[in-house]
Amino acid sequence: MKKIKLSMTMQILIAMVLGVLLGLVFGERIVGIKVIGDIFLRLIQMSVVLLIAGSVVEALGNLDSKELGKLGFKIFFWFMTSTAIAACLGVVLGEIFKPGNGITLVAGQEIVVPPAQSLYEMIVDFVPTNIIKAMSDGNMIQVIIFMSLFGVALSQIKVDKAVNSLLDMVSAFNKVILRLVSLVMNLAPIGICCLIAYTTGTAGVKVLLPLIKFLGVLGLGSIIHLAICILVAAAYCKVNPLRICINIANMSIIAFTTTSSAISLPTKMGDSESKLGVSKRISRLVNPLGMTLNSNGLAIFLTLACITVAQAFGVEMSIGSILRVAVLSTLSCLGTVVVPGGGLVALTIVIPAVGLPIEGIALLSGIDWFSGMFRTLLNVDIDALASMLIAKDSKELDYDIFYGRKKESDSIKVEITG
């Protein structure tokens, strides 16, 4: 009898359904299962800072200094353009569907959130004063800035044999970290099943009902924006858009179920290289940078959340106020938290800045996990599509890999069977 082998994608889909069923059947009695899910998340998160640091240093260190400016401009252009479009789409959908109308608010509702930073504090905080502390705290944007400068310095003096040896060591270290991540990813179906069972069992549908319209509009916006970006990437790279959908399916499921761009990073990098045909050089630079600088899902969420809160509180917003919401939402996506719950942190920046009641954060806190599914899906997929576009510009897009005619041998393998 032939043994049936299930891909990682199918295993996770089955785990999602099983998790929902367990949560609905056992309710709050399932709470103890969360420990398994939390351990899985920690196993992935423990390597993320090292993965980002090593990938950025290796990618930039191997570049010629002349290439840095051109590549940096392309990355910045695609990131900011897609994020701004996402923010504007959130405003348009909020004004059309009005998800905040009819919501009953409880005045004085409390939620524990970090204190909001001013724009000045946010920008200054991008630069680390102590890189060891930044790595220890998991401050991704500070780590990326330091490692980017470190990589640039390496690229400028790599004629030195000692520096070349250092680059070789970084490359070897990265391979070990990628192997570690691929081993941990074998636990993904179990960890995801436990997390979804806990969320469904403790929250249930009662949390969703008051804001089901908000989630529906957010989901619609995510689908529209992703479809537009897929069509743009297909046209620009001259490939089949349906094939893009197939090739990003695995990373999409990981992003949707874990709600964390950081946890999804290894899968995103691996699939970009082994399925989309992006070169390692481009993938391992663009994807880590995109994790903190290209948050399309968060941009839609923030603008839609502000419009929803304004409608729920009966606040009339002028054209100027709406424009301010779009601009602030775009800027607030730079360096925001890339783990579950990061959306609430970003809301503490935007909502007070546009003069809306802070209770609006409490309004959306109950569904943060569910809205995080859509946010992370867009954040992850658009990063991968951006890496395709930049690889096409750099003539580093392998169409044989994209169409499955050959395999990328040295990539992050998370699509396993068993």
Contact status, residue 147 vs residue 140, Cβ threshold 8 Å: no
The predicted pLDDT at position 355 comes to: 78
Provide mean pLDDT across the span 351-367: 75
Of 141 and 72, the structure prediction assigns the larger pLDDT to 72
The predicted pLDDT at position 2 comes to: 56
Cβ-proximal residues to 335 (8 Å cutoff; 6+ apart), any chain? 122, 125, 126, 140, 141, 292, 293
Given CA atoms 305, 337, 266, 163 in this order, what sign does their dihedral have? positive
CA 219 remoteness from chain centre: 16
Residue 273 pLDDT class (50, 70, 90 cuts): very high
Over residues 19-58, the pLDDT tens digits come to 888 888 888 888 888 899 888 878 877 887 887 788 778 8
Architecture of the domain spanning 8-402: Orthogonal Bundle (1.10)
The predicted pLDDT at position 218 comes to: 95
Burial label for 219, CB within 10 Å (0-12, 13-18, 19+), is middle
User: pLDDT > 70: what percent of the chain?
Assistant: 83
Of 201 and 417, the structure prediction assigns the larger pLDDT to 201
Provide mean pLDDT across the span 161-185: 80
Over residues 90-101, the pLDDT tens digits come to 999 999 999 988
CA distances from 150 to 59, 94, 175 (A): 11, 42, 19
The predicted pLDDT at position 207 comes to: 57
Over residues 190-199, the pLDDT tens digits come to 988 888 888 7
Q: Is the pLDDT of residue 378 over 90?
A: yes
Residue 321 pLDDT class (50, 70, 90 cuts): confident
The predicted pLDDT at position 317 comes to: 82
Residue 203 pLDDT class (50, 70, 90 cuts): low
Indicate the average pLDDT of the chain.
81
* pTM for the structure as a whole: 0.75
Provide mean pLDDT across the span 64-87: 84
The predicted pLDDT at position 271 comes to: 94
Residue 185 pLDDT class (50, 70, 90 cuts): confident
Provide mean pLDDT across the span 392-401: 94
CA 270 remoteness from chain centre: 15
Of 276 and 349, the structure prediction assigns the larger pLDDT to 276
Highest mean pLDDT among 5-14, 158-167, 181-190: 181-190
Name the least confident of 7-11, 76-80, 395-399: 7-11
Token digits for 130? Answer: 């102590």
The predicted pLDDT at position 318 comes to: 79
Token digits for 225? Answer: 């924006």
Burial letters 109-147, b for 16+ CB under 10 A, else e: eebeeeebbeeeebeeeeebeebeebbeebbbbbbbbbb
Residue 10 pLDDT class (50, 70, 90 cuts): confident
Q: Is the pLDDT of residue 236 over 70?
A: yes
The β-bridge partners of 397 are: 278
Domain extent listing, the chain: 8-402
CA distances from 24 to 17, 34, 351 (A): 11, 15, 34
User: pLDDT > 90: what percent of the chain?
Assistant: 30
Provide mean pLDDT across the span 186-207: 79
